[in-house]
Amino acid sequence: MRILSVNTSLPKQILWEGKKVRTSIFKRPQKGSVPVGALGLDKDTQCEPKYHGGPLKAIYSYDQAYYERWKKSISFDAWTPGIFGENLTTEGLQDTQVYLANVYQAGTVKFKAIQPRIPCFKLNIPFRRKDILSHFFEMPGYGTYYQVVQSGSLKAGDEIKLIEASGSTVSIADLVRCYATRGDDQAHLKKVLSCPFFPSELRTNFEKFIR
């Protein structure tokens, strides 16, 4: 597992669908070591921390394997790392491999897996298409939000090491599956909700799927 690209962005105001929108979705690859603190990467500011930032969503990773699926699904010419708004474009760190509360290290940064990303309409903006969000929810990979448990720095090319397995049997992919199917498999939903590492901010939404 390794980092292919480290991506950041400061807020910008643009015109989208006739309305002014402030967003930090336009992530761009950074050269060299990038400092990382409790609230995320240096020179990377979230416009709406209630939904997309804060200490439990300090780092967002998205795997290169998902890019390859997208390239087969839609026509687009600018597949720049960070186009999905991720801080870390990774290799070998897919949702099926990441279990809740696992702790990883890249460079001198340690970070804990918290939850999948549930994006808003702003994901459409870098692609200048209205249908990217709907395609995203149909894809198997959503990517992972992490909490920083040790500040430091990281860079493209750094190896990502699993340094503390939580023992959880619930992966990011398990949460994605429950969300995407609205809990069609009730036994699976029950397993996910009973996980001691289940993110509290998602509980109300997932409990709505109980039948």
In a domain, 89, yes or no: yes
In a domain, 188, yes or no: no
Containing domain of residue 113, as a range? 2-168
* Number of structural domains the chain divides into: 1
Three-class secondary structure assignment of 130-167: CCHHHHHHHCCCCCEEEEEEECEEECCCCEEEEEECCC
In a domain, 148, yes or no: yes
In a domain, 186, yes or no: no
The CATH number linked to 55 is 2.40.33.20
In a domain, 173, yes or no: no
d(CA 144, CA 84): 12
What ranges in the chain are assigned the alpha helix state H? Answer: 49-52, 64-73, 132-138, 172-181, 186-193, 200-207
In a domain, 210, yes or no: no
d(CA 135, CA 79): 16
d(CA 204, CA 29): 35
In a domain, 141, yes or no: yes
| Residue-by-residue pLDDT tens, the chain, 211 positions | 999 999 999 999 999 998 999 999 999 999 999 999 999 999 998 876 666 678 999 999 999 999 999 999 999 999 999 999 999 999 999 999 999 999 999 999 999 999 999 999 999 999 999 999 999 998 889 999 999 999 999 999 999 999 999 999 999 999 999 999 999 999 999 999 999 999 999 999 999 999 9
What's the predicted TM-score (pTM) here?
0.95
d(CA 186, CA 58): 31
In a domain, 195, yes or no: no
CB of 44 closer than 8 Å to CB of 79: no
